[in-house]
Chains A and B, each alone.
Chain A
Amino acid sequence: MTAQTLDRTTPQSSGWRELWLKEDWWAIWLGLGIVVIAYLFFADGSSIKWVAVTPAKWHSFDQLGAHFAANYLRYIVQFLLWLAIFTVALTALGHKAGEFIPSFIFLYIFSVAIFALGQWDQANKYNLEPPLVALVLGLIISNLIGVPKSLAAGFRVEFYIKTGIVLLGATLPFTLILWAGPTAILQASIVSIVTFLVIYWVGVRLGLDRRLAATLGAGGAVCGVSASIAIAAAVGAKKDDAPIAITLVIVWAIVMIFVLPFVAQALGLSAGVGGAWIGTSEFADAAGLAAAQAYGDLAGHGAVAGTSDQAVWSFTLMKVVGRDVWIGIWALVLSIVATTRWEKTGIDGKPEFGQIWWRFPKFVIGFIVASLIVTAVTSGYSLADYNKTVVPTLVGPIKDLRTWAFIFCFLSIGLTTRFRGLANAGGKPFIAFTSGVVVNVVLGFVLSALVFASYWENLTR
């Protein structure tokens, strides 16, 4: 689609309407809504665990069949609840319910199958970790079979991952955020600044336009696709610059989903250290969580030291707290540089401090608030009581719903990634971006596994 065919409706400013016109806020409403409801049930001596059903461990198809025969009503109710809340949110965002509903039915059925496969007691033996299976299956369907455009309305990668991250906040003690957050910010800042400068410097040396080089640098250094388009706008890049960065982010992010967990395991990294490395060196939240969740699953099976939670927690602290929240500052600094130092484009702009807030990834607020809520309401429990009472009836069901949201996301990544449909990145942008990838991965490893290892190995409640 060319720019000239774009719909001619009046451009809109979000303003306060952002509260219902942005996925970030809807992720907060849905995520915190689930957390509050879960707490109300918990406080009443009950639990939402009935609806937070997940496939059980199984050895034979008979066992699997028996599980679904006994729990089919729970799955139906859970499906209807997901469908209802997502339909409300996406309709408010401007999507058509008539297109979303069949798409989500497709997504849920495949998600159940992927989740069940991951619970097979031989799954670990064949590396059938649900995040990786979801991604590969989605890629196969999208690239070899094809997905009708009308069925794509429900494949909202970023919405699902943000909803899942808000739910993840409820399972992450706020004290851990306070304890490890500053380290995450320090480590992530070092890697982000170095990675950006490498990509930018190599890009400019290769003769790339400075605005394209900055767009590439932000994609590799900050938060992937979101950073690329935010910085592209902040510096006034050509309309084809962001798609080039998007292509490179997608290609490298998908490669790293498979490479980072594999290499981390080969190097014997613990779950916490591996998660921190993935958080430092992956390029997008969704892709990184797929890798971190897969590494956590390895820990859950005993193939890696530590716990499944440690991989996901350290990843989230590093990526979300350490990198994502700084996008507004990156945009401000680069908009100042672009307007004062770079060649003119015919479009003028005044760098505004306000963008630190309006570009802020608001779902992080939901993540923090969810952590605060659950930490506050469970602070009076001893560790033994917490594990005996709170985990099975409050935190466990929220974690199970979080896992569903992540599987919807991981499958959607594959289903929306059509390699033939991506923009042609070209050789020079590829070299520049790849230079940053190499530096990022090596530096991320040194900081995660050597310099700050003690922090990431000791992420416990």
Chain B
Amino acid sequence: MNHLRRSFLAVASGASALVAAGFVKPRAAEAATWNKQGFEAKAYNDAIKGLGATNMIESKDISITAPDIAENGAVVPVAITSKIPNTRSISIVAEKNPFPLAATFDVANGAEPYASVRLKMGQTSNLRAIVKADGKYYTAAKEVKVTVGGCG
């Protein structure tokens, strides 16, 4: 979450003058920096490192909703719900994808610790959810069998 906060502060200091002067309509907030290290990692371990998720704790408070068998790997519906208090971000890793880290969702300001998205999966693999809460990382996994890979 720090990066969200940091970019927010940077924007706040830089842009608030413009907003106050009425030059810029405060519509969309500045996006967090794309996690290049994590997203461009080709190995699962490097992706985890890119997330900074060391010492992950297995947790039953994370639920992963995804099909047991996905016939079409190009469209695998995935929903993650975290019941861990102070959940700040949810990441989804498809362990055997060419680039394992698929998405990170930073939640704030009343958004529930929930995200739903459709992913591509190259082959049968664990889907792993990694939740950051109070500076700690929690994780859970679910295997999804893929009949036809969706990376081609």
- B is bound to A: no
